[in-house]
Structure 1
Amino acid sequence: MLDATLKTQLQQQYLTKLTEPVELVSSLDDRPKSREMAELLEEIAGLSDKITYRRADDDARRPSFAVTRPGADISIRFAGIPMGHEFSSLVLALLQVGGVPVKEDAETLEAVEHLDGDYEFVTYMSLTCQNCPTVVQALNAMAVLNPRIKHTAVEGSLFQDEIEERRILAVPTIYLNGEEWGSGRTDMKQFVERLDHHAAARTAEKLDEREPYEVLVVGGGPAGASAAIYAARKGIRTGMACERIGGQVLDTLAIENHISQVYTEGPTLGAAYGAHMSAYDIDQIPGVRASRLIPGEDGDLHTVEFEGGGRLRARTVILATGARWRTLGVPGEADYRNKGVSFCPHCDGPLFKGKPIAVVGGGNSGVEAAIDLAGVTEHVTVVEFLDQLKADDVLLRKLDSLPNTEVITSARTTEVDGDGKQMTGLQYEDRTTGELRTLDVDGVFVQIGLLPNTDWLKGSVELTPRGEIVINQKGETDIPGIYGAGDCTTVPFKQIVVAEGSGATAALSAFDHLIRTPAPVAAAAH
């Protein structure tokens, strides 16, 4: 199953790092996928004398296999064949079970090792989901670190009965000890925050202990990463606080307009941001969400407070908190989110195989989603508020060529119907006649644009009615020493490369401000 290049890479670059024996133990049935799994495991075992493979048929989920270390209590299982986006999860599992240290900060590693309780996680994922590997890899690593944590990654399309029984319509969906626990991209720090009741207090204490920065960047996406790098290159004390390094880029699959890269994917670019920042003296603080900005008066330090407690202070602050998916704001939408209402066609599309679905939004993202979904679903209906679609002509021609798609224009979505457990239909108003109609669909993918993540800034800096931070051509807000960059601002054209440029502009403007402004006494002492 592995091509020659991949085998060579595994054998010569990765599996040579193993210091402990690894055993692959399969549970198979008569399906073709079981034969494929056996072939894959035999190939991997043949690449290293540290890896062995045997068939045991000791697990109810088939085909599946465990990655174990003889004599150690480690419970990691893949129910399905981890190729596609999940192949990296398999490689990391082999390495970590085989003795390669888990890469994470010491505080998080210690917190995982000391978690008190028995945790049996099951992650439902798809091989086309770019967010699923973060969850799978985090839980696998936690199972290596703590024997009381067990994890199984289930490939949804291969276990349809289980998916239907649990009514799973979005990935990644995470179960803990038999109960639904969460969904969406979740990293190790976020797992610790939820499982360890003392984690938030420790995080707040660590924030309060930090000395003031000359530049504090809030946000870890393209704008934030660019701003932090440009600031650090000036040799000034730079901090970055964010929910996740990479920001919304991590939720993007194909990227074909990032200059110098013909093609890349969001998680790859997000990881590159992190690696680039790590080459400089940047105090990166992921896993925190800003809750309040307190501008300094008369040249005093600015303060950013965070959810759960803790604050950071800085002479200048760059706001680069990005944007989030815009929601429909209709009855039923929140009730059936991840139960039919979805925002990521790449992640959740395979769960709607053979089912009728709708896409709300006729711009480029909506039409691209419809084209992708037409390949796996029974039928796709594009619902657009305006009287015509706004997407590029090349996309409209492709959509028109597909036999299982249709377009409804001048339609105002009014409600998401459901049976209490999952979505069953979508209501809309025909804006030309006022007639209310219903689409019998099992899912809806919302693709109607973005909203800036600026609710926490109301009353501190000037915002537009849409919530965008008002900035000038230098990235300056209405508060001296506070700057904005990227999709959360009035910068036109919400594109990755535009955000990167605006982040650089904000950092250079902040540096110019610093060299022309006397430092407050509290900051000058450091």
Structure 2
Amino acid sequence: MLDDSIKTQLQAYFERITQPIELIASLDDRPASAEMRDLLSEIAAIAPAKITARFDGQDARRPSFQITRAGADMGMRFAAIPMGHEFTSLLLALLWAGGHPPKVEADVIEQIQAIEGDFVFETYMSLTCHNCPDVVQALNLMAMLNPRIRHVAIDGGLFQQEIEERQIMGVPAVYLNGQMFSSGRMELPEILAKIDTGAAARDAAKLSTKAPFDVLVVGAGPAGAAAAIYAARKGIRTGIVAERFGGQTLDTLGIENFISVPETEGPKFAAALEAHVRVYDVDIMANQKVDQLVPAAQPGGYATVKLSNGAELKSRTVIVATGARWRNVNVPGEQAYKTKGVAYCPHCDGPLFKGKRVAVIGGGNSGVEAAIDLAGVVAHVTLVEFADQLKADAVLVNKLKSLPNVEIHVSAQTTEITGDGQKVNGLKYKDRVSGEEHTVALEGVFVQIGLVPNSEFLKGTLELSKFGEIVVDAKCHTSVPGVYGAGDVTTVPYKQIIIATGEGAKAALSAFDHLIRTPAPQA
């Protein structure tokens, strides 16, 4: 299963293993079990002195395999053949079990090891999901560090009966002790915050002791990362606070128009952003939600950024680069059936609808690209567009129209997403020309109708456009002196990664210009 180049790479990685590992598989007669046996045998053969493969496991979920340190009982298990996006998860689990230290702060490791209680996590994922590895790796790490935590990563394609029984329509879907725990992308601090109830208060107390910043960037997507880098290079005290590093790029599969990088994937791009920021002296405060911005009381004073955990950060200047999020279609049934047939990421959730009927709402580039991708997986795609023609690029529209299992409806207003109380079973739309109502029977609906700026916390503080965007001038100034805006959250036209990075750099330069022209507050 592994080609020679991958084996060579693994051999180099396995040099880092310092303690023997056991791979213990529980197999059945399915072809997938034979594939799993082959994969584990090949891995063991690369480093036979360090890795042993056994096929006498007694786990009820088959095929599956445990990764554990010899003589121990670590709770890391894959009910999957972890290739594709999950191959990195497999490699990390092997290295961790083999004694290679994880790249996690010491206080986080101590927090995980101190968690009390018994936790059994089950993560349903797909091998094409680029959001799933973060969840799988976080929970594997917790299971490796704490013997009372167990985790199994389950490929929904291999265990379709479980997917049907639990009516899972979106990945990653995490169960804890048999109950739904979370759906969608989560990072390690978010998971810890949900099970370690005292973490938020401890974090708030720690953050509130930080000295004031010269520049505080809110948001860590392309605009926020660029702003932090440009500010830090000026030698001034710089901080960046955000819910997640990478922003929307984490939900983007292919990036092919960032100049000098012919092709990359969103999560890789996000990781590169963070790595670049960490080159400089930037105080990174990730997994933090900002609730309020309080401008400085007088010119040259400190603005206050209030976090949802109660912490307060102060800074002479603030750059808001909070980006945008997927727009909801806002019809009956959308909220009720989220993760139960209503989805927003065709790359992540598309494989769960294999052989089924789905609709895509939206005829722009995102909608048409989603429909094209889904057409190769599902039985039939119905694309519904409000305008009288598709707005996507001509080459995409021509490709879509060439597909035999796609039906297109323009001048079509979605009025409801219907379901049986458990999952989606249809979509209703009105023909805007004739007024006629139509119902399409299907199992999934993918919403692709654009973005909403993440600016709700700024209402009444900064001037916003009628669309909720921060109004900025050519130098990223907002309506409040000392506060700047950058990227997709602002009125800057064309929401593109490369434009966001340029705006972030511009905002940092404007902030620096403000600092050198404004007297510092008196101590």
Range of TM-score over shorter length: over 0.9
- Structure 1 segment 56-455 matched on structure 2, within 5 A: 56-299=56-299, 300-455=301-456
Q: CA contact under 8 A between 2:57 and 2:65: conserved in structure 1?
A: no
Deviations 1:477-508 (A, max 9, x none): 01111000000001110000000000000001
Shift of 1:71: 2.1
* Count of residue pairs brought into register by the alignment: 521
Gaps of 5+ in 2: none
One-letter identity of the residue aligned with 2:215: V
Gaps of 5+ in 1: none
Percent identity, aligned pairs only?
Answer: 61
After TM superposition, the score normalised by the length of structure 1 is 0.98
One-letter identity of the residue aligned with 2:229: I
Whether 2:21 is the aligned partner of 1:22: answer yes
For 1:344 and 1:2, how far apart are their aligned partners in 2? 29
One-letter identity of the residue aligned with 1:510: A
Deviations 1:202-224 (A, max 9, x none): 11111111000000000010000
Shift of 1:107: 2.5
One-letter identity of the residue aligned with 2:458: L
**Is the partner of 1:103 in helix, strand or coil?**
coil
Once the two structures are overlaid, the 10-residue window that deviates more, 186-195 or 96-105, is 96-105
**Is the partner of 1:157 in helix, strand or coil?**
coil
**Is the partner of 2:511 in helix, strand or coil?**
helix
- The corresponding residue for 2:501 is 500
Deviations 1:38-73 (A, max 9, x none): 111111111112111010141121111110112223
Deviations 1:74-122 (A, max 9, x none): 1111111000000000000001111111222222222211111110000
**Is the partner of 2:351 in helix, strand or coil?**
helix
Q: CA contact under 8 A between 1:222 and 1:496: conserved in structure 2?
A: yes
- The corresponding residue for 1:54 is 54
**Is the partner of 2:175 in helix, strand or coil?**
strand
Shift of 1:262: 1.0
**Is the partner of 1:521 in helix, strand or coil?**
coil
Deviations 1:166-217 (A, max 9, x none): 1000000000001111111111100111111101101111111100000000
One-letter identity of the residue aligned with 1:450: L
**Is the partner of 2:15 in helix, strand or coil?**
helix
One-letter identity of the residue aligned with 1:518: P
Q: CA contact under 8 A between 2:453 and 2:469: conserved in structure 1?
A: yes
For 1:328 and 1:483, how far apart are their aligned partners in 2? 30
For 1:312 and 1:165, how far apart are their aligned partners in 2? 46
- The corresponding residue for 1:41 is 40
For 2:331 and 2:203, how far apart are their aligned partners in 1? 36
Q: CA contact under 8 A between 1:345 and 1:372: conserved in structure 2?
A: yes
For 2:499 and 2:109, how far apart are their aligned partners in 1? 36
**Is the partner of 1:388 in helix, strand or coil?**
coil
For 1:99 and 1:186, how far apart are their aligned partners in 2? 25
**Is the partner of 2:236 in helix, strand or coil?**
coil
One-letter identity of the residue aligned with 2:503: S
After TM superposition, the score normalised by the length of structure 2 is 0.99
Deviations 1:411-458 (A, max 9, x none): 111111111111111111111122221110100000000000000010
One-letter identity of the residue aligned with 2:312: R
One-letter identity of the residue aligned with 1:165: E
CA RMSD of aligned residues (A): 0.8
- The corresponding residue for 1:485 is 486
Q: CA contact under 8 A between 1:131 and 1:184: conserved in structure 2?
A: yes
List structure 1 segments (4+ residues) > 3 angstroms apart after TM superposition.
none
For 1:178 and 1:269, how far apart are their aligned partners in 2? 35
One-letter identity of the residue aligned with 2:25: S
**Is the partner of 2:297 in helix, strand or coil?**
coil
**Is the partner of 2:41 in helix, strand or coil?**
helix
Whether 2:487 is the aligned partner of 1:509: answer no
Deviations 1:284-319 (A, max 9, x none): 000101000000022210000011210100000000
For 2:413 and 2:297, how far apart are their aligned partners in 1? 47
For 2:370 and 2:219, how far apart are their aligned partners in 1? 27
**Is the partner of 1:351 in helix, strand or coil?**
helix
